[in-house]
Structure 1
């Protein structure tokens, strides 16, 4: 795929590329640390084993948050759960079988959860009911044949963004009067390699553009967009030459995905309940946990 603006236009298809992320599961907790205002780190212990300030300082980097207090809570909670799991592993004498890509701690945790978190399989009837209740979610992705003119500017340059937006509006007015000039204007003004093909990005489906552009792009009807669209790369003057709507998918095409999704949901609930059980049975001091999640859930 051609680099540059990131839209992949130079390769004859696809939009500004990005990778999509699956949504994370969040379990409600109360972020309350029991610590005085004079303490830089709370004093937290699990069944008499203290979570050291050094461990919390190291863990902190994995828990970005809006405030330091929240980040410290998240780091301390993760370390409490890790210590609880390690203590349970030692209590049960879990024998290690290290798999590919695992270290010993990861292997021991996996084997512990396989042993103690039992989840029933989702049966066919449950999957079919879910499909029937959510038919609107199961369609093939729409396809758009798109041309664009990219007026490039840095995402943090407010002045350049203002200038680029003004220029995009001028080009849009010109195209409304003379639609046939799109290729000439793309060649002259666009910062995307697709300018050599008259601005054509080919057929674009979901997941092929950066999210902020995709959200706008797939709401458009065929024709010249009525206003410029903004992305991290700048401002885009867009023309949708063709829009092919997605088609409903039969159950057979999505059965495996439905079963995996439902099974993952059941597993996540069972795991949270297991972690809550460990917390409830332990002597955890210095942090108030009414529920628990962990990186294992994500």
Structure 2
């Protein structure tokens, strides 16, 4: 779907501009025009489905949403239409197992490492301050190498991070929980190892020591089988609905919106 025109209709039924404006409130976008276009797309999809429900004489069943609230009649009719017309296969154990084997990396628990650090704050844009911070970090590294038990004391005295109150201890760190240079250096260390070089980040310069390390483990298939099956069935349903909408659109005169393959709000 592309540009929204002034008049929008589906199968000869015009969608009121006031309805598009009201629907736009449900489509946060960068600009009002984008919100209006998204709203128009959603209402075109909705009207396509309701027109088909009319053609098939589908009445509104008594249905509720995930929170137990009764669906509005039109929403219930759309649900009943999709239930009747869109058929998808179930994902049996063999299908789920193949997906698991092909994407085993998705089912691994993350490696976590306890981290200690001492931060010398400096902006990378301030070359002089950054250089001084790097020199201070090198000095602390030498002290810790000579006296490992001094790390906590030095952190409390020198660190610009709030973790200084815990002797520089940041707790357990997993992938994606901190800035990339820090993470890369931390995960390269063995348990109990001090990073021999200062680590530079946008926050300043760090002295880093790794604590206890727990390696990630692949979850057994049995623990994730149902989640995989649910995911595959949901993906299959979404694709089938998209194809169904495309068929309906090809059989319907639509004005005001260029209608192509659909993956819009109702498909999701």
Where on the TM-score scale, by shorter chain, does this alignment land: which range? 0.7 to 0.9
| Residue in structure 2 matched with residue 252 of structure 1 by the alignment | 222
CA offsets per residue over residues 29-50 of structure 1, 9 Å max, x none? Answer: xx43264xxxxxx321112222
- Which structure has more RCO (C-alpha within 8 Å, separation ≥ 6)? 1
Q: 1:67/1:172 Cα in 2 relative to 1: closer, same or farther (>3 Å)? A: farther
Structure 2, unaligned runs of 5 or more: none
TM-score, length basis structure 2: 0.73
Measure the CA separation in 1 of the matches of 2:188 and 2:266: 42
Which one of the candidate residues 42, 48, 68 is aligned to 1:84? 48
- CA shift at 1:191, angstroms? 4.5
| Residue in structure 1 matched with residue 199 of structure 2 by the alignment | 227
| Residue in structure 2 matched with residue 26 of structure 1 by the alignment | none
Measure the CA separation in 2 of the matches of 1:58 and 1:218: 48
Aligned-pair RMSD on alpha carbons? 3.6
Q: Does the CA contact (< 8 Å) of 1:56 and 1:76 recur in 2?
A: yes
TM-score, length basis structure 1: 0.67
Task: Please list every run of at least 4 consecutive aligned residues from structure 1 whose deviation after the TM superposition is greater than 6 angstroms.
Answer: none
If you compute each CA radius of gyration, which structure gives the higher value, 1 or 2?
Answer: 2
Q: Does the CA contact (< 8 Å) of 1:94 and 1:112 recur in 2?
A: no
Q: Does the CA contact (< 8 Å) of 1:131 and 1:258 recur in 2?
A: yes
| Residue in structure 1 matched with residue 111 of structure 2 by the alignment | 142
- CA shift at 1:270, angstroms? 1.0
| Residue in structure 2 matched with residue 176 of structure 1 by the alignment | 141
CA offsets per residue over residues 44-86 of structure 1, 9 Å max, x none? Answer: 1112222233333333344455666554432221121122233
- The count of residues paired between Structure 1 and Structure 2 equals 249
Most deviating of 277-286 and 56-65: 56-65
- CA shift at 1:162, angstroms? 4.6
| Residue in structure 2 matched with residue 131 of structure 1 by the alignment | 100
Structure 1, unaligned runs of 5 or more: 1-30, 36-41, 153-158
1:33-48 superposed matches below 5 A: 33=3, 35=5, 42-48=6-12
Measure the CA separation in 2 of the matches of 1:106 and 1:151: 58
